[in-house]
Every structure is written in C-alpha cells, then in structure tokens.
Amino acid sequence: MSKPEEIKQKIEAIEEAMSSADFWADKDRAQATIREYESLKSELMGAGKYDKGGAVMTIFSGAGGDDAEDFSKILLEMYLKFFDKQKWQYSIIHKNENDHGGYRNITLEINGKNVYGTLKNESGVHRLVRISPFNAKALRHTSFSMVEVIPKFEKPDEVKIPPEDIKTEYSKSSGPGGQNVNKRETAVRLVHIPTNLSVHVESERSQVQNREKAQILLEAKLYKLLEDERKAKEKGMYISKTTQIEWGNQIRSYVLHPYKMVKDHRTNVEVHDVEKVLNGNLEEFIEAEQSL
C-alpha cells in the first residue's frame, strides 16, 4: 500500500473516532488526536502534488573522466528509450558535450502523464563498472554519474526567491536560432547564492525567455531540496545540500565486468540482463522504488 493511501486510511479512522460520543472524555488525548489529524491532512496535501505533471532531468558526470562522461551518455540513451516507451515528449534545455560524444552534463524537459511521479526516485548517484574503452590496457574502471529529477512547474507559486539571492550569468548559446543566436549572449545561468544550486538554460531564442525558464527551474530545484529536507527530518535524518557524486551515495550499480548485473541498492532489486535495462526497461526498478 502506498504512503498516501495509508494516510487516507488513518484520517478516515480519526474522523470516525471524532464522531463518537466519548471522544472528548479524555481532553488531552482528544487534542493530541486532532493535532495528528491536522498533520496527516497537511502531509497528504503535499504528497504527490506534482507527480502527475512533467519533470526536468539533469545527468551530471562525476569521477571517471571520459569514462564517466560516456556513462552519462549511456544513461541518457537508456532514459530516452524509456521515455519513448511511455510516449513522453522531451527536449534538451542545455548540454555540455565532450569530443567523444559523452556529456559532462545534460538537462532535459520531459512532458507527459505522471512523468515526475514515475521518475522522481531515479534521483541519485549511478555507478558503472566495466572494461574501459578509453584505456589501452583494457583495465576495469568505475565511473559515477548523478541523475537529478525535479518537478516541472507550470505556474511557480510554491517557492519565491528574493532577487538578491540570485546570481545571473550570460553566455553564448549553442541552442536553436542559427548564427544570430551564437553572436549574442542568450544562454543564461542562475545560481541560488544561499544553497549554490544552479541552472543553465539555452533552449529558448532570446535571453529574456531563457532567463524566465531558468527562474522557474531554479524555483523547482529549491522546492525539491526543501521537500527532501522535510522528508529526511521526518525520518530523523540529515541531508547534505550538495550530494557528492561518489561511492558513498550511490543508488544503483551497473556492472558489465567481471559479471553482468544491475542492482538497486535501496530495494535490492537485481537484473542480470544488463542490455535489457540499458534498452529502457526500467519498470522493475521504478515499481520497487515506488513501493518503499
């Protein structure tokens, strides 16, 4: 049973108790029950608020140089195949590509039904173990990439960032619009100074449009951070504002050598057909994550 369904059942049970004649016989207990009731209702309202809408996914390369940037490309291709299976639409907001066709980072906007709810648990560090195609000695190599998924805000009203908390940088765009775009600094990078969260947008034709889109993305990123902190606090955990793309924070491993296996470290789901997973068959992992 999912968490929202459990909360609904608890609310219904409390409502039934509140309607009984002896509910107020123990005043302290009754007040404690009402506090729990109000708390459950406000958690429920926030749970899954953006699950049915679109999402923005960024894949960052971590430790591993060319191998890590190639791994980011492998992850991107895996997710694109999954998106195609879901019949979701997607577009590139920003990309930083290397000379080998790999990515230092790439950001996509994905639109369709239940996109954020499906993808939100893909956020985290992914690890690849394989024989490096970039090493002449054919040595085994470990690479890391981080996937970040945030909700797509249609009308941002959840988070308001004071202008003085934002640093704005402009650069030449490699996005659509031909040569005229590349002559002007239309690409926009925003940094939220208190948390150091940043976004980079170059998909639109003008600096103003890129700035507006970047603002919405930054607000969505801050919303996701605040949500993660709230959930961690409920579980009595502490969350770092900057996730290190390294061994300790991995959520899933993709092992191609000396054996073949993809393992999710949160659910312990293991799939030995690695090619099947890399071809976009992620349902087994996603369903297990959603049931946590």
Q: What is the pLDDT of residues 261-270, one digit of tens each?
A: 999 999 999 9
Residue 240: Cβ within 10 Å count: 9
Comparison of pLDDT for 141 and 30, the residue scoring more? 141
Judge whether residue 153 has pLDDT over 70: yes
Residue 22 is classified by DSSP as T
Cα dihedral value 235, 238, 243, 248, nearest 10? -80
The pLDDT of residue 234 is 65
Judge whether residue 229 has pLDDT over 50: yes
For the chain, give me the number of helices (H) and strands (E)?
Answer: 8, 11
Average pLDDT value for residue range 264-277: 96
Mean pLDDT, rounded, of the chain: 85
Nearest to 126 by CA among 291, 278, 230: 278
Judge whether residue 239 has pLDDT over 50: no
Q: In whole angstroms, give the CA distance from residue 281 to residue 292.
A: 20
Nearest to 1 by CA among 82, 10, 280: 10
Judge whether residue 223 has pLDDT over 70: yes
> Locate tokens 């059942």: which residue?
9
Q: Which residues contact 253 (CB under 8 A, 6 or more apart)?
A: 126, 127, 128, 129, 261, 262, 263, 265
Comparison of pLDDT for 75 and 247, the residue scoring more? 75
Helix, coil or strand: residue 127: strand
Q: Which residues contact 131 (CB under 8 A, 6 or more apart)?
A: 138, 139, 140, 141, 256, 257
Comparison of pLDDT for 11 and 115, the residue scoring more? 115
Judge whether residue 146 has pLDDT over 70: yes
The pLDDT of residue 45 is 57
pLDDT tens for 183-219 read: 578 899 999 999 999 999 999 989 999 999 999 999 9
Reported confidence tier of residue 84, pLDDT bands at 50, 70, 90: very high
Q: In whole angstroms, give the CA distance from residue 180 to residue 159.
A: 34
Beta bridge partners of residue 90, listed in sequence order: 110
The pLDDT of residue 47 is 61
Q: In whole angstroms, give the CA distance from residue 128 to residue 126.
A: 7
Q: At what angle do helices 3-18 and 27-46 cross, to 10 degrees?
A: 150
Helix, coil or strand: residue 68: helix
pTM assigned to the model: 0.77
Nearest to 165 by CA among 219, 116, 127: 219
Helix, coil or strand: residue 175: coil
